[in-house]
Amino acid sequence: MRHTEFWRRMEEALGAGYAEVWASQYVLADLGGRTATEALADGYSAKEVWEAVWAARELPANLR
């Protein structure tokens, strides 16, 4: 998954105005206590980060 796909999914799931805010503020235990933005900057793959977001937000299976 590319970063552009990750951000498209984030906007689809959370809304265009909220996706970046949530990604920079919500700490995810599955990513070692990092936010999604920090995890991407630290070298986690977009797929790993999306899976952590998907689980934390308890999103429907069709968004996985």
Q: What is the pLDDT of residue 61?
A: 84
0.85 surpassed by pTM: yes
Q: Is 51 exposed, middle or buried (0-12, 13-18, 19+ CB in 10 A)?
A: middle
Domain residue ranges in the chain: 3-63
Report strand pairing: 34-35 vs 27-28.
antiparallel
**pLDDT over 70 for what percent of the chain?**
100
Mean pLDDT of the chain: 94
Q: What is the pLDDT of residue 55?
A: 94
